[in-house]
Structure formats: C-alpha cells, structure tokens
C-alpha cells in the first residue's frame, strides 16, 4: 500500500465530515477517493482492466446508496435541481454542458494516443533444465555432473590454463558477436535481438547457475528451451552443432575465469 | 412529456441485455477448435513420433491441461520434467516404457506419492488415443530426461505390435531398454 | 393560406400528378424486357441438341432412380446455422418450461397459506400467479415441439442414438404431458369452483407431474454430459443407469431451485408491470405486495443456489477430471467472471429492493441507518468475486506489477476468497431481509434484549467462522481447502436457521411503531424488479450455455463425436450475443403473456360507451390521459 495516498484520501474524507458535506458531495468524494486509492494507492499498481471493473461496481453501489431512501434521494436531487434551474448557475451549467462531450473527446484522444505495444508473451528466463541431455551421443548428467576440466585447476594448473585459453579462442570466434568483448552483452548484433543476450559480467547471472546448466543452454540453445521459456524468443543457436563437447566446457571455464566468478555449487553442499 | 411505462420497461430490458452482452465482449475471446485427427504413417521414425507425441500432449491428449513441464511449487498433478529418468526406477521391475504404458492405460494402478488420483484412462473416450498415438506420447515422454527409443514396432504389456520385430531398429544407444521383451503381465490387447 | 388559392392549387396539383404518372408509366413500359428474336421452334428441334438434351435427362433419371438411400448425419439450418438455431429454441423452451414448472410450486404454497389463515388476499394472489400459466404452457409446448422437430431434422444421427438409449422414457413423457395439461387447466379454470382441498390437491398433482416431466428431460441432457449405463462402443446396457447418471441428481436439485427463483422473479416482474400501469391506489397496493412476494420467493430460492451449484461442479469433477478442468480452468474460466458480475448485480438488486421497501413503513429511519454497512459488505464481496484469476494487463502494467500476478489481487482470485465472498454475500442479504422484517416493529417479549444479543452473536460468529476459514484456506493444500467450503456453508445455513427461529419468537406479538403502507413505493423499485428478472433470465441463459458447451466437440461426451461444422467452441463474446438475443426474444414473448393476462381484467368491448380500444387501455395510456 502507498500510505501517503491513503492518508491523503482519509484527510479529505475527514475534512468533508468536519464540514458536514452534502450527500451529493460525499458520493462524488467516495467515487474519486476510491478511484485514487485503486489507481495510485497500491505499491504494485492494479491493471486498468481491474480498476475499471472495480469502479463499475463502486458506481453501482454509490447510485444504489444515494437512492435507497426518500430522504437520501431528496438530499441528492435538491442541489442538482437547483443547479439546473437557478439562473445564477446558468454560466456554470453551460460550461458543464460543453465540458461533458469535451471530456469524452479528450478521453478518446488520450486512448488513441498510447504508443503501440507488442503483445506480451510471458517468458521464464531460467527454466528448469532436464536432468540429463545427450550431446554428440553422450549422456551428460546435469544434476550430478560438473565441468570435467574444473578439477584440473588444482591438480594440473598448466593443463587448466590451456583449457581456459582454448575457451578464450572459442569465445572470440563464436560468442563475441552477441555477448560482446567484455561479456557485457553489447556485441554488435545485440541491437537486432529481443531478448538481449545474457550479461555475464552481471553478478546475478552465471554465478547463480551451475556450470552444467550453462552447458545445457550452450549446447541446446534457443531451440532446446522448454515450452514456458518460449522457444525462438531467444536467438541463441544450438552450439552442439558447431562445437565439440570439450570446446563447450572450455568456453564455460573461460567465462567464469574472465568474469572472476564461480559456478554455483551442487545442491548437496548446501544441505550439509 | 412523459415516456409511457411500457416504453421505459422495453428500454430497460434492452439496456440490461445489451450491458451483459457487452460484458461478454470484454473478457478474452478464444475459439476452441476440435482436435485435429493426426495421420500416423507406418514408416515413422522415432524423431517423427516424438514430434507427433508432443502435439498430442498439447492437443488431443489434453495432457498439458493438468500436467506441467518444468514447473515447481504446489501442483495438482506431477510435473513431467525429467520424468523419463524417474520412470526407470519408479516401479521395480518396470522399465520406463512399461511404466509409461501402465500409467496411460491404467492411471489409477499407481499414483505418484503426494498426489491424488484423477487421471482418465487415455485409450478410452473422451480422450481415446489409439495405441499408436500412445506410443508417440511415450516417445515424447522419453525425451524428457532421456532418449527416445520406441518405434511403432514396439510392444508393451498393453499393446502387441503387429508382426513384432525384435527391439528398435539399429539398437538404441546407451541404456537401451529391451523394448520388445515379452510382456511382463497383463492381457495383450489386440 | 388563402382559401381561394387552395381551390386553384388543387386541380393544378391533380394535373401535374396525372402528367407525372403518365410519364413514369411510359418510361417503365419502354424499359420493359422484350424477348429477342428467336428462330421458330420447328427449326431448333431439327438440331442434335434436342436429342442430346433428352438423352441427358434420361441418364439423369436413371441415376436418380438407382440412387441408394444414405442416412445423413447432419442437415444445415439456413442463415444462422444449426447450432444457433437449436440453441435459441432450446433456451426459449427451457425458460418457458422453468416458468411453468415454478409458478405452480409457489402458487400452491400461497393458496395453502390462504386456506390455512382464511385470508382472501392470498387466494387472490395465487390465482393471479396462475393466470400467467396457460399461455406460457402452450408456448412451452410449442417450443418443445419445435425443438424435437429441429433435433430430428438437423441432427438425425445423434437424435437416433438418443432414441435408442432412452426409448422407454418417451411415451411416459408424452403421457405425463397430457396429465400436466389436465391438471393445469382444471387447476386454473376450476379456481373457486371446488372445495379448497380438492383444488389444492389439483395443484399438488400439477406440481408432481411437472416435476416428473423435468426429471425425465434432465435424464436426457445429463446423459449427454456424463453418459452412463452404456458399453465402450455406446451400446445400451441399462436404461436406468443411463437415467441415473452422475449429474442427474445434482441437475435435478439445481434446476428445481433455480426454476423457483426464476419463476418468482418473472412473477415479480409481472407485478411490477401491473404496478406501473395501475390507476388506483388499491391496485398499486395489491401489485406492490405481489411484487414483494414474488421477489421474496426468488431471493429465498436463490440463497441456496450457489451450494447446489458447487455440488453439481463437484459431481462433474467426479465424473471426469477433464470435464471439470475444461469448465474451471480452460476455455470457460472467464465465463465465471461474467457470472460473478451477474450474481453480484442480483444480490445488489435484491438488497436494494429490500432497502427501498423499508420506505413503505413509517419510522423506518432507524433501520435505514444500517444500509451503509450492508452496502459496503456487498460491494467488497462483489469486487472479490469479480476479481479474475489471470488478470488482463498490458506489458507495461505487468512490468510495473513485477509479474503476471498481482501481489495483492492474486490472493483474491482464488477459490478461498471467492467462497468466502459468496457466503458473506448470502449472510448480508439475509441480514437485509431481517432488518426489513423488523422495520416498524418493536419486540415486546420479556427476553427481547437477550434475544437480540443472541442473534447478533450468532451472526457475528458465522461471519468470523467464514472469514477465518477462508484465510486458513491459503495455508493448506488443495484437498483440505476444498473440504473447507463445507463448514463455511453449514455455518451460514446454521446462522440463517437459528436467527430466523429466534426472530419468529422474538416478534410474536410486536408493538407496531409504524404502519406498512403497501403501494407507497417509488417507481424505481419496480424497475429494479424487472432488472432482477432480466438478470435472472440472462444468468440462466449463460449457465445453460456452459452446461451444454462444456462437452465441446462431443454430442454425447466421449461417445458420439460432433463432426458438424459447428463442432468448435465459439468465443464467449459470440455466446453472450446469442444469450442476449434469446433473452430479448423471451421478454418479447413474456410481455405478450403479461398483456394477455391483463386483458382478463378489462371491461368487455362496448361500441357505444368506450372511446378507447381495449388495447390502448391495457397499455396504460388511459391512466396517463385521465391523470
């Protein structure tokens, strides 16, 4: 809730109460007040379709209330009748008569003037991966597996550097065009893409993913995405058709090495 | 000038029905076409079967009305992501093809722990997939965390392929299951 | 203008017109089509063309004679198509049937009350209700016959299948129809001619027969939705099992209650129609009272209707999970938002009528204070119920919400919230009624204070139970949550029964603080009654569509597939258009019924003394002119 808006509406109501306002004023105040609360009173804004639904109900309810007894009907119609019959309000009445169609026209103008928006396809950015995939006739266990060359970092640091360098080659031959020189997703093709490629430099990107998840995304690409991630919304190719398994693993090593991040650990680590 | 009451009543009736008709126009408009009859050719490859199985899951089979693929949280029906991997071990003695067949032909014979029974028998109306179509669905299910191996010549406990030839042609890679093993039990439907 | 000039102008105009006619006639004859020259027939016949034509004709005759008889599955209805035609006719048949079945139910009850209390007013009221029946009955029969013929013509294969399954039920149905006609006409024309008990017996007979007719027809249509008693191939195993299928009993109960509610509202609309056209205070008082009773019947029957609906939905789920999910989660889920708008309007309209009714009683102001709070409760419940589960929003709005479901509204879209809202709506309406009842009365019994306190306590605790169970529903899993609706409903029902019981004793011999002045109602209240009747009718049309459309591309679910061009499920927008048109047609026809019924009260045609034709007088013009 947006406390300030709610407080403001409450203050206006209190003022009306204090001034002993006419029922007609109250009816208008309730309508406007509730509209303001529905429209601006929530920190996560309510969509306009729901707001108009609610306001329809509010309108009917207010109409029902002001006409629900003889006194109330009397109290509401008295100022209205006076407004329409007494000569001193003639100018105001004329202005109202002009204002009503003008408001309708303005409303149409505003409605027509909204910028065009593409239709929305809800998309999951990181859908759950399968437990197992097949790349080049080899089954890769995505749950239990990990980068086979990662362990070299400790046991054979030289060998490991070789793999990282190979990964650098793979990256700059294939990935750089979209993911960019600094891995900040500003490659030269980016402007034609929607959604834009993943920014690896972002702390919340590859560090929250397992390296096997990256392997799945690289090898299967956009076509391999499950239904809810809307295949073909992303232009990522299925790299298994162009790269060897080792090259993909090496590129992954390079990604983490270049950005100074670490892949997310296996689930068991957390439960210990 | 007073408007006669009959005219007012007519106007009210007209306005009310028009209003409700208008409300009907405000909600999303969707026309649902009856499911297409897919033609199954006898010489389909496993890859073709996977494709058709996927279409059947969405369309005629209505599977995805209840099941999800890749969702977690409070679900009414089991999620199918990676189901092929789980299916191999779900019931001891049944490989994933037999398990899928069992859960499609006799859904109530085994309920995944934590869920309520509620799945219709798939080879009976109103869903009424044919035996061949069910093989396609099994092929698709195998891709969810596994490798599809079934062909139209595959037999299982509920279906005996005509002129059954041993195993999938060429032999499936990896953990190829003996797809044409003699039906473990249950009647052989013609 | 000058009179002489007119005399001159007359002949001149005549001449001009004559000339114009001659001109037009010449023009037209000149333009007339003339046969071009053709060679005499004898020459034409000499060509081989004639022989060729004869041969062709002979060949066509031969193929025609050899043509085998083929059973067709469908025939098309011109212009609108078979589906819309059968839809409209079935819906009209149902609406009139519902009215004809419902009116005798409360007419007999009112007559019995009149007999018991000896109050002639009740007898007159029951008679007045019955007056609407005879024309409606013939309209029902006409539409029923039209429906049958159209089924045979347009859907021969499907109709044939239904005949094969239900063959033993059709002749009893016809027999019952005869009995219905017998009871209905003797009940109506025999009014006041027999001993009251004999007459009451006729009325009860009418109800028994009418309800049996409905039970048989329900068996047919519920079989289409949840077939039973047949083999996998569709062959009949047991007719009784086919009749007693999953949804038969729930539909019977649901329809019985809904019919009473609908009949009450239409009868109230009739009273409103008469009230608006009334010329004397006496008439106004009578029709005000009649409208009140009709609306009372409608609302009392309407309160348990949502529960009957839940039972029906539960049985549909029990029969087929697929069918249930199509209804609540698939193509039809938005239909229930439209339904929420209708039901919200009904509750609001009914309460509003009761509040206006408080104005009949002198010194109602003390009670009218509470309207504010009742209205707030109703509006809030209405909003909760109408909140959709999946919200329509633009891209920018979804970004701003941070996802496709709203952090707060998301809670209102689910079952727990809606169940709670509907229970509170029912409680609030009951409260309105209770307040109306005690307007202008003060309890005189010694335990009055304790009684009021007890009523308030029961009401408050029912509300608290309903709301807290609703909130609790968010924290438990689905299977437990569904079960929670039972204690919610039963606490509401218990509260209603208990409070009414206390109320009856509390106001045994009340001190009257204000008189009830029947007829002292603003005209708007009568329009509200008509609005309620239209809304009820529309609601019936909509729910009839969902019950029937649920089968989607099946005639008989899972057995006979719909292969016609109309097998697809139309959009909700299209469906609501058809429903709207059907409802309009119904109101044109029921307006005719009302008019016929009011003819009865008019004096006979007298060429000497009556300057107005009876038609005009019935239309209320007389009233306007004399005033």
Neighbours of chain A (3+ CB pairs under 8 A): B, C
Distances (CA, A) of A197 to A182, A213, A240, A257, A261: 13, 16, 18, 19, 18
**Nearest one of B58, B37, B29 to B132, comparing CA atoms:** B37
The DSSP result for C336-375, as a single string, is HHHHHHHHHHHHHHHHHHHHHHHTTBTT-HHHHTTHHHHH
* Alpha-carbon gap: B28 to the closest alpha carbon of chain A (Å): 12
Distances (CA, A) of A107 to A28, A99, A100, B83: 20, 12, 11, 53
Residues in chain B: 190
Whether C506 shows a pLDDT value over 60: the answer reads: yes
Neighbours of chain C (3+ CB pairs under 8 A): A, B
Which residues are paired to C441 by β-bridges? C512
In chain A, where are the structural domains located?
Answer: 3-112, 132-271
Whether C615 shows a pLDDT value over 60: the answer reads: no
Place of tokens 């439960």: A271
Q: How would residue A271 be classed by pLDDT, with cut points 50, 70 and 90?
A: very low
Whether B167 shows a pLDDT value over 50: the answer reads: no
Residues in chain C: 627
Most B-contacting residue of A60, A120, A131, A139 (CB-CB within 10 A), to test interface: A131
Whether C151 shows a pLDDT value over 80: the answer reads: yes
* Residues C201-217: tens digit of each pLDDT: 999 999 999 999 999 99
Long-range pairs for A262-270: beta carbons < 8 A, 24 or more residues apart:
A262/A207, A263/A146, A263/A147, A263/A150, A263/A206, A263/A207, A263/A209, A263/A210, A263/A211, A263/A214, A264/A207, A264/A208, A264/A209, A264/A210, A266/A144, A266/A146, A266/A210
Helix segments in chain B, DSSP class H = 5-26, 46-58, 63-66, 83-90, 96-105, 131-143
Is the separation of the CB atoms in C516 and C436 below 8 Å?
no
Q: Which residue did the predictor score with more confidence, C294 or A20?
A: C294
Distance of CA B112 to the CA centre of its chain: 17
Cis peptide bond prior to C390, omega within 30° of 0? no
Whether B172 shows a pLDDT value over 60: the answer reads: no
Q: Chain A neighbours among C 487-546 (CB < 8 Å)?
A: 522, 524
> Can you read off the two tokens belonging to residue B130?
């044919």
* Residues C365-388: tens digit of each pLDDT: 777 888 889 999 999 999 998 888
DSSP C516: B
Q: How would residue C612 be classed by pLDDT, with cut points 50, 70 and 90?
A: low
> Can you read off the two tokens belonging to residue A240?
């298994």
Distances (CA, A) of B174 to B84, B140, C260, C551: 14, 18, 68, 45
How confident is the model at residue C175, as a pLDDT? 95
* Residues B88-104: tens digit of each pLDDT: 888 888 888 888 888 88
How confident is the model at residue C624, as a pLDDT? 42
* Residues C41-83: tens digit of each pLDDT: 655 556 677 788 889 999 999 999 988 888 888 998 888 899 9
Most C-contacting residue of B12, B22, B27 (CB-CB within 10 A), to test interface: B27
**Nearest one of C343, C358, C270 to A67, comparing CA atoms:** C358
Question: If DSSP codes are grouped into helix, strand and coil, which group holds residue A138?
Answer: strand
Name the residue range of residue B122's domain: 44-152
What span, in angstroms and rounded, lies between the C-alpha atoms of A141 and A146?
A: 8
What span, in angstroms and rounded, lies between the C-alpha atoms of B93 and B185?
A: 11
Residues of chain A with Cβ-Cβ distance to B82 below 8 Å are 130-132
Whether B179 shows a pLDDT value over 50: the answer reads: no
How confident is the model at residue C603, as a pLDDT? 77
Do the Cβ atoms of C392 and A44 come within 8 Å?
A: no
How confident is the model at residue B170, as a pLDDT? 39
How confident is the model at residue B184, as a pLDDT? 39
* Residues C76-103: tens digit of each pLDDT: 888 889 999 999 999 999 999 999 999 9
Q: Chain A neighbours among B 125-144 (CB < 8 Å)?
A: 144
> Which CATH number is A132-271's, of 3.30.1340, 1.10.287, 1.10.10, 1.10.760?
1.10.760
Q: Chain A neighbours among C 359-378 (CB < 8 Å)?
A: 359, 364-365, 368, 371-372, 375-376, 378
A145 contacts chain B (CB < 8 A): no
B72 contacts chain C (CB < 8 A): no
Is the separation of the CB atoms in C352 and C528 below 8 Å?
yes
Reduced 3-state DSSP string for C194-234: CCHHHHHHHHHHHHHHHHHHHHHHHHHHHHHHCCCCECCCC
Identify whether B189 is part of a domain.
Answer: no
Query: What average pLDDT score do residues C403-424 get?
Result: 80
Do the Cβ atoms of A117 and C382 come within 8 Å?
A: no
The DSSP result for A12-27, as a single string, is HHHHHHHTT--HHHHH
Place of tokens 């309903």: C466
How confident is the model at residue A266, as a pLDDT? 63
Q: How would residue C484 be classed by pLDDT, with cut points 50, 70 and 90?
A: confident
Q: Which residue did the predictor score with more confidence, A133 or C420?
A: C420
Which positions ≥6 away from C617 have C-beta within 8 Å? Answer: C602
* Alpha-carbon gap: B78 to the closest alpha carbon of chain A (Å): 15
Which positions ≥6 away from B114 have C-beta within 8 Å? Answer: none
> Can you read off the two tokens belonging to residue C244?
């007693």
Whether A227 shows a pLDDT value over 70: the answer reads: no
First to last CA, chain B: 82
- CATH assignment of the domain containing B113: 1.10.760.10
Residues of chain A with Cβ-Cβ distance to C387 below 8 Å are 50, 53
CA triple B168-B172-B173, angle to 5 deg:
175
Q: How would residue B5 be classed by pLDDT, with cut points 50, 70 and 90?
A: confident
Q: Identify which of B13, B23, B76 has the shortest CB distance to residue C341.
A: B23
* Alpha-carbon gap: C525 to the closest alpha carbon of chain A (Å): 10
* Residues B60-88: tens digit of each pLDDT: 788 887 788 877 666 778 888 888 888 88
How confident is the model at residue C399, as a pLDDT? 67
B–C CB contacts, 8 A cutoff, strictly below? 125
Long-range pairs for C206-209: beta carbons < 8 A, 24 or more residues apart:
C206/C104, C206/C108, C206/C180, C207/C104, C207/C105, C207/C108, C209/C176, C209/C179, C209/C180, C209/C183
Is the separation of the CB atoms in C502 and C454 below 8 Å?
yes
A267 contacts chain B (CB < 8 A): no
Residue of B nearest to C588 (CA): B10
Task: Provide, rounded to the nearest whole percent, the portion of chain C with pLDDT above 90.
Answer: 43
Is the separation of the CB atoms in C254 and C247 below 8 Å?
no
Place of tokens 């919400």: C401
The DSSP result for B115-165, as a single string, is ----PPPTTSTTT---HHHHHHHHHHHHHSSS-----TT--BTTB--TTPP
* Residues C538-572: tens digit of each pLDDT: 999 999 999 999 888 889 988 888 888 888 889 99
Identify whether B147 is part of a domain.
Answer: yes
Most B-contacting residue of C322, C393, C622 (CB-CB within 10 A), to test interface: C322
Question: What total of structural domains would you count in chain B?
Answer: 1
Which residues are paired to C516 by β-bridges? C361
Whether B17 shows a pLDDT value over 80: the answer reads: yes
């Amino acid at each position: 809730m947006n406390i300030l808006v709610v407080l403001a509406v409450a203050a206006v109501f209190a003022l009306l109460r204090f001034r002993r306002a006419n029922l007609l004023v109250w009816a208008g105040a309730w309508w406007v007040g509730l509209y303001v609360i529905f429209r601006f009173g929530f920190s996560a804004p309510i969509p306009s379709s729901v707001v108009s639904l609610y306001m329809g109900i509010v309108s009917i309810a207010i109409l029902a209330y002001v006409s629900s007894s003889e006194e109330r009907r009397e109290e509401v119609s008295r100022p209205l009748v006076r407004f329409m019959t007494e000569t001193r309000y003639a100018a105001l009445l004329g202005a109202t008569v002009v204002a009503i169609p003008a408001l309708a026209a303005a409303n149409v103008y505003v409605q027509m003037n909204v910028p065009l928006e593409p239709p929305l396809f809800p998309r999951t950015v990181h859908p759950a991966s399968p437990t197992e995939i097949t790349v080049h006739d080899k089954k890769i266990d995505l749950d239990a597996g990990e980068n086979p060359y990662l362990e070299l970092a400790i046991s054979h640091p030289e060998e490991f550097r070789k793999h990282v360098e190979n990964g650098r080659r793979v990256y700059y031959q294939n990935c750089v065009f979209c993911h960019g020189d600094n891995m900040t997703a500003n490659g030269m093709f980016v402007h034609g893409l929607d959604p834009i490629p993943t920014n690896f430099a972002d702390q919340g990107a590859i560090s929250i993913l397992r390296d096997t998840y990256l392997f799945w995304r690289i090898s299967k690409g956009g076509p391999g995405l499950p239904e809810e991630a809307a295949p073909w919304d992303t232009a990522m190719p299925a790299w298994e058709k162009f790269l060897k398994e080792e090259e993909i693993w090496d590129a992954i090593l390079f990604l983490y090495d270049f950005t100074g991040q670490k892949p997310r650990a296996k689930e068991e680590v957390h439960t210990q | 000038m007073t408007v006669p009451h009959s005219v007012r009543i007519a106007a009210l009736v007209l306005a009310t029905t028009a209003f409700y008709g208008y409300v009907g126009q405000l909600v999303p408009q969707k026309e649902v076409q009856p499911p297409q009859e897919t033609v199954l050719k006898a010489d389909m490859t496993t890859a073709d079967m996977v494709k058709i199985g996927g279409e059947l899951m969405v369309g005629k089979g209505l599977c995805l009305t209840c099941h999800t693929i890749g969702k977690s949280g409070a679900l009414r029906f089991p999620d199918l992501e990676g189901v092929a991997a789980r299916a191999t071990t779900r019931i001891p003695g049944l490989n994933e093809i037999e398990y899928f067949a069992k859960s499609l032909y006799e859904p109530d014979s085994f309920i995944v722990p934590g869920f309520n029974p509620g799945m219709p028998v798939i080879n009976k109306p109103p869903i009424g997939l044919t035996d061949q179509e069910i093989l396609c669905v099994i092929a698709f299910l195998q891709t969810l965390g596994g490798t599809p191996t079934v062909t139209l010549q595959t037999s299982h406990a509920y279906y005996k392929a005509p002129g059954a030839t041993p195993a999938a042609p060429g032999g499936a890679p990896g953990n190829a299951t003996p797809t044409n093993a003699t039906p473990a039990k249950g009647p052989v439907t013609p | 203008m000058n009179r002489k000039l007119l005399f001159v102008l007359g002949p001149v105009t005549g001449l001009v017109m004559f000339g114009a006619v001659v001109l037009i006639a010449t023009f037209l004859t000149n333009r007339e089509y003339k046969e071009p020259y053709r060679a005499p027939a004898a020459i034409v016949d000499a060509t081989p063309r004639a022989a060729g034509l004869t041969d062709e004709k002979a060949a066509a005759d031969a193929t025609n004679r050899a043509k085998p008889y083929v059973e067709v599955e469908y025939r098309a209805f011109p212009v609108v198509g078979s589906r819309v035609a059968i839809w409209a006719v079935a819906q009209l048949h149902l609406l009139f049937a519902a009215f004809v079945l419902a009116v005798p139910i409360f007419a007999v009850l009112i007559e019995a009350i009149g007999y018991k209390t000896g109050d002639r007013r009740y007898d007159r009221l029951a008679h007045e209700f019955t007056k609407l029946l005879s024309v409606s009955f013939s309209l029902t029969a006409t539409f029923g016959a039209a429906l049958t013929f159209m089924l045979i013509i347009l859907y021969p294969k499907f109709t044939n299948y239904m005949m094969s399954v239900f063959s033993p039920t059709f002749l009893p149905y016809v027999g019952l129809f005869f009995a219905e006609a017998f009871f209905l006409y003797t009940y109506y024309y025999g009014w006041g001619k027999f001993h009251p008990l004999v007459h009451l017996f006729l009325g009860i007979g009418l109800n028994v027969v009418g309800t049996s007719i409905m039970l048989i027809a329900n068996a047919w249509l519920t079989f289409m939705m949840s077939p039973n008693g047949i083999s996998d191939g569709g062959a009949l195993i047991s007719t009784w099992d086919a009749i007693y299928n999953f949804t038969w009993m729930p539909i019977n109960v649901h329809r019985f209650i809904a019919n009473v509610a609908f009949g009450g509202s239409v009868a109230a609309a009739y009273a409103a129609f008469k009230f608006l056209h009334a010329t004397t205070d006496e008439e106004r008082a009578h029709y005000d009272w009649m409208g009140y009773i009709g609306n009372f019947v409608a609302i009392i029957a309407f309160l348990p209707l949502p529960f009957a609906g839940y039972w029906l939905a539960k049985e549909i789920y029990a029969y087929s999970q697929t069918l249930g999910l199509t209804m609540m989660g698939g193509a039809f889920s938005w239909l229930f938002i439209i339904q929420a708008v209708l039901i919200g309007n009904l509750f609001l309209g009914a309460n509003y009528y009761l509040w206006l009714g408080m104005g009949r009683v002198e010194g109602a102001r003390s009670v009218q204070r509470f309207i504010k709070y009742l209205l707030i409760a109703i509006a809030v419940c209405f909003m909760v119920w109408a909140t959709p589960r999946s919200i329509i929003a633009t891209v920018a709005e979804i970004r701003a919400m941070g996802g496709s479901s709203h952090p707060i509204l998301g809670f209102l879209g689910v079952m727990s919230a809606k169940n709670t809202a509907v229970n509170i709506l029912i409680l609030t309406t009951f409260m309105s009624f209770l307040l109306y009842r005690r307007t202008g009365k003060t309890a005189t019994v010694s335990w009055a204070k304790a009684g009021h306190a007890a009523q308030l306590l029961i009401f408050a605790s029912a509300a608290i139970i309903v709301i807290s169970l609703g909130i609790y529903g968010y924290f438990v899993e689905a299977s437990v949550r569904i079960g929670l609706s039972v204690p919610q409903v039963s606490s509401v029902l218990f509260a209603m029964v208990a409070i009414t019981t206390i109320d009856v004793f509390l106001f045994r011999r009340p001190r009257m603080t204000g008189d009830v002045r029947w007829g002292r109602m603003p005209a708007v209240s009568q329009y509200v009654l008509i609005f309620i009747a239209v809304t009820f009718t529309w609601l019936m049309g909509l729910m009839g569509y969902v019950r029937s459309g649920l089968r989607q591309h099946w005639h008989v679910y899972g057995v006979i597939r719909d292969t016609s061009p109309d097998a697809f499920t139309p959009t909700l927008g299209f469906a609501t258009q058809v429903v709207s048109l059907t409802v309009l047609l119904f109101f044109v026809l029921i307006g005719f019924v009302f008019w016929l019924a009011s003819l009865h009260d008019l004096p006979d045609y007298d060429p000497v003394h009556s300057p107005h034709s009876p038609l005009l007088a019935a239309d209320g013009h007389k009233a306007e002119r004399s005033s």
